[in-house]
Amino acid sequence: MSDPVLVFWSFRSPYCYIALPRLIALSEAHGVALEMRIVHPAALRNPEYFRTMNPLARPYFLRDSAREAAAHGMPFRRPVPDPVAQDPTTLAIAAAQPLARRLGRLGVAGSQRGRGVAFCLEVSRLLWDGQVDGWDTGEHLARAAARAGLDLAALDAAIAADPDGYEAVLARNDRDLRAAGHWGVPTMVWHGEPFFGQDRIGTLAWRLRGVAG
């Protein structure tokens, strides 16, 4: 079972945070690698969605994401600050998105160095577990990168040398996600078959068991 599970993943998605520990356990149980394919948040990839979103969607989303984290025994609070600059009432999205773009590029850089899973795990905890205010300040990101076996300064330097190249990878990952049959995250793809959402990890495990058997 040598083909990896492709994991299309965004730092802003609470469901990506909730899913990743179980995906790591699945990887270990089935001897299949995870290949992180980082994409920008939906607010950057598809801002039109927020302009037409049902007004009931966001309140439900906030309740459900907190409930899912609790159900899986994971500490949870929305990031402070939010990686996406967005009005919480109107959902209008700012033109400049420095935090979201930095996280996406760092995720790509970490993945290119073979530490994508570890980097996403550490940074998503930093954002979502509620232990840190101002995750974007001080040494928080540097320490998370170090726990993942990476040097943040080196990642930032590589990105500064070729920002368009990293954006091109993020855009390609989004195209590959849609070509696989979905647009949302987390989406896992194995042998060309998409499994959307953290609630489909069990179905993916069933598929892996069937092939293994």
pLDDT at 212: 47
CATH 1.10.275.10 fits 5-212, yes or no: no
pLDDT tens for the chain, 213 residues long, are 579 999 999 999 999 999 999 999 999 999 999 999 999 999 999 888 888 889 899 999 999 999 999 999 999 999 999 999 998 888 889 999 999 999 999 999 999 999 999 999 999 999 999 999 999 999 999 999 999 999 999 999 999 999 999 999 999 999 999 999 999 999 999 999 999 999 999 999 999 998 644
Q: Where are the domains of the chain?
A: 5-212
Torsion from C-alpha of 48, 185, 8, 182, nearest 10 degrees: -70
CA dihedral sign, ordered 194, 197, 198, 203? negative
2 CB-contact burial (10 Å; exposed 0-12 / middle 13-18 / buried 19+):
exposed
Could you check whether the bond before residue 47 is cis, i.e. omega within 30 degrees of 0?
Answer: no
Is the model's pTM score more than 0.85?
A: yes
Measuring CA to CA, how many Å separate 136 from each of 100, 156, 191?
11, 13, 37
